[in-house]
Amino acid sequence: MTPTILELKNLYKYFNDVKAVDDISIDIQKGELVSFIGPSGCGKTTLLRVIGGFHEQDSGDVILEEETISHLPPNKRQTGMVFQNYALFPHMSVYKNVAYGLKQQKVPKNERDTRIKKALSQVQLDGYESRKPSELSGGQQQRVAIARCLVLQPKVLLLDEPLSNLDANLRMEMREEIRRLKDELDLTIVFVTHDQEEALSISDRVAVLNGGKIQQLDTPEVIYNQPSNEFVADFVGQSNILKGNIEPAGDEISYFKSKDMHFEMKTPQNDLREKSLTLLIRPERIRIDESSPIKGTITKTLYNGSFIRFFVQIGKEELSVDHFNMNEKVNYKQGDTIGIKLPSTPHVLTNQKSG
């Protein structure tokens, strides 16, 4: 079993009367990449800064390899922080930027040279030692910032919105680069981002935060397909939320009924027969099917390249439906009436409160 390297125990952090971090506990395993996501002000960056020692928690503990480090300053924690703006020294070369922390630690020059060359090689910046930050692309500056952390041999790498200043193609490239570094060097990474797609694509586990609390902590697949409450369902990906009642129609079949819809579904395992419930249905799980008795009117369309998203009004409900681009002509347009088929195994949300 992979050992736990970082433990957060009952952490609280207040800013005046605002609870920015509210009783958060997480165990992170060695070699794991865990992302914190959530809306602005949810506490994700504050939590990262508490781990790194840039904010002092009001109560609780940060434990690294079974040693409490809550009282230590950032430079004594064996954690490396990469900031959103990279925080490179503009007047220094790449070499001197990467060397800065080692000089502060009074590492001998021979060892310093060896570690700097190794770190630059790890981020694929061999030959860039003499360049200034202004002579580098955004992605290269990001790699220098990561190398400056790697050279200090941190036990946990902390990344605060590290890709937000890059264009779309560079973001994709740097996601792959961070994942490569994690796998090749067996790095433990805590990654803060506002980009849900980024978190889902890069992470071993994702923590969704709101109001200083963790709403759900799980693998990307579970977060997306089986969110624990409406907040997670709405925040991660596009969601259709349906509220209604379920009525049994046989051993394993039930009917979901709302004011505007009536369809057959598999009876949920948790005995919700003849009770009200809330369903999550992702847009890609709804099919356009002209033979379906469920009809609606297209109110708008969004072309996304690989798919077209239709917004379909059914009574007072508006559903988003994704039709994937299979190089076939799609003639549906705003104002058309279409039939839709809903999945027989929608995800049943709990009525758990968020925040």
Percent of the chain with pLDDT over 90: 70
Q: What is the mean pLDDT of residues 106-114?
A: 92
The more confident residue out of 270 and 43 is 43
Mean pLDDT across the stretch 130-140?
91
> Of residues 166 and 26, which shows the higher confidence score?
26
- What pLDDT score does 78 carry? 93
192: left (phi over 0), alpha (psi -120 to 50) or beta: beta
Q: What is the amino acid identity at position 137?
A: S
* Average pLDDT value for the chain: 91
pLDDT value for 4: 95
| Residues 98 and 136 sit within 8 Å (Cβ to Cβ) | no
Mean pLDDT, residues 210-233 taken together = 96
Q: Which CATH superfamily is domain 238-349 in?
A: Nucleic acid-binding proteins (2.40.50.140)
Q: State the average pLDDT over residues 294-299.
A: 96
**Domain spans, the chain:** 4-234, 238-349
- Is it the case that residue 1 has pLDDT exceeding 90? no
Nearest by Cα to 209 from 80, 36, 86, 56: 36
Under the banding of pLDDT at 50, 70 and 90, the label for residue 353 is: very low
Compute the average pLDDT of residues 73-87: 89
User: Mean per-residue pLDDT for 98-118?
Assistant: 92
Whole-number pLDDT of residue 85? 80
Q: With beta carbons less than 8 A apart as the criterion, state whether 37 and 194 touch.
A: yes
pLDDT of residue 208: 97
Range 195-206 average pLDDT = 94
4-234: CATH number: 3.40.50.300
How much is the pLDDT for 270?
61
Non-local CB neighbours of 38 within 8 Å, separated by 6+ positions: 44, 194, 208, 209, 210, 215, 235
Burial label, 271 (beta-carbon count in 10 A; 0-12, 13-18, 19+): exposed
- Report d(CA 207, CA 26) in Å as an integer: 9
Q: Say how far apart CA 25 and CA 9 lie, in whole Å.
A: 5
Q: In this structure, what is the dihedral angle of CA atoms 166, 35, 14, 72, given to the nearest 10 degrees?
A: -90
Q: Cβ contacts of residue 167 below 8 Å, gap of 6+? A: 138
Tokens of residue 145, six digits: 């910032």
30 CA to centre of own chain? 19
- The pLDDT confidence band at residue 271, using thresholds 50, 70 and 90, is low
